[in-house]
Amino acid sequence: MREETVKIAWFGKHFGEEPPLVGKKDQGAGGIFFSGCHLHCVFCQNWQISQEGKGKEYSLEELVNIMLDLQKQGAVNIDLVTPVIWSRQIKKAVLEARERGLIIPIVWNTNAYESVGMLRDMEGIVDIYLPDFKYGIEEIGYRYSGVKNYPEIAEKAIREMLKQAGPLFTKKGIAHKGIIVRHMVLPNNIENSFRALDVLAKIDNSMHIGLMSQYFPLYHADQYTEINRPITFEEWKKVTDYMEDLGFENGWTQELDSSSVYIPDFNKENPFTP
């Protein structure tokens, strides 16, 4: 039987996540960026790896060693980025890594378009869920990511994540367990953000939310005129005000001018260096 493998585009310590996921300067998230994605977002900032398959195959033994090595380097967690299509292999690797001394939390960094059945299978494996809630309007999800029923599927997934992990739990500023939900505001689409925030408030408005202003038109976004620009201050203000009106108090909102900081280039040795 062929040995099981996963495809990884990059791994290493990185600092682009919310503060409790990166800790201090000498710590960082232990990022493992998997190749491939079951969504096809026309504006994907990681398109080199999610859509074009850039990456290299690693055995499960190598994946275990990568996790243990990130822990040894001082990473405060193992941050599994776009892991869904590799969930079966990742589960085996995490169990093996824990046998061999992995104690830092496992972060499941996803787009929330995933089945409750798969998430239940990951119960006890994942400590911190870090899903995006990308679309509050189904048609927008279909237009930009090619998937049907996004709000319904993502809501069910986030409810299951919250049930498993509970609210965000931090100790000395470092996250150990819980959930942080991200939402990125798209230009000319504030209704989409309003509806997404409505759903999240209905689930639990005490959840930690990472509201992102970093949208920048990349990949195929230039073929969709309405999203072929960054968001404006007015759009950002309307969404942050709306979020406040819904009673969200926990979480983070990005600075509006942060786009250049967050666009990785996976052709570089470290995609996150300028």
Catalog residues that contact ligand SF4 under the rule CB under 6 A: 37, 39-41, 44, 46, 50, 82, 111, 145
Residue 142 CB, shortest distance to ligand SF4, in Å, is: 13
Nearer to ligand SF4, 30 or 141 (CB): 141
Residue 111 CB, shortest distance to ligand SF4, in Å, is: 4
Nearer to ligand SF4, 203 or 218 (CB): 218
- SS3 of 131, please? strand
Q: Which of 141, 131, 15 is nearest to 82 (CA)?
A: 131
Tokens found for residue 224: 């969709």
- Check: CB of residue 25 under 8 Å from CB of residue 243: no
DSSP 66-123: HHHHHHHTT-SSEEEES-GGGHHHHHHHHHHHHHTT--SPEEEEE-S---HHHHHHTT
Nearer to ligand SF4, 38 or 98 (CB): 38
Residue 16 CB, shortest distance to ligand SF4, in Å, is: 14
Residue 46 CB, shortest distance to ligand SF4, in Å, is: 5
Residue 156: its H or E element: helix 150-165
Nearer to ligand SF4, 44 or 175 (CB): 44
Nearer to ligand SF4, 68 or 209 (CB): 209
Task: Go through 48-76 and write b for each residue having 16 or more CB atoms within 10 A of its CB, e for each that does not.
Answer: bbbbeebbeebebeebbebbbebbeeebb
In angstroms, the Cα distances linking 181 to 125, 136, 144, 169, 250 are 19, 13, 20, 14, 11
DSSP letter for 15, please.
-
Helix 138-145 to helix 150-165 angle (10° resolution) is 100
Residue 74 CB, shortest distance to ligand SF4, in Å, is: 27
DSSP letter for 227, please.
G
Residue 40 CB, shortest distance to ligand SF4, in Å, is: 6
Nearer to ligand SF4, 184 or 200 (CB): 184
Q: Are strands 56-59 and 5-14 parallel, antiparallel or unpaired?
A: antiparallel
Nearer to ligand SF4, 44 or 168 (CB): 44
Residue 99 CB, shortest distance to ligand SF4, in Å, is: 30
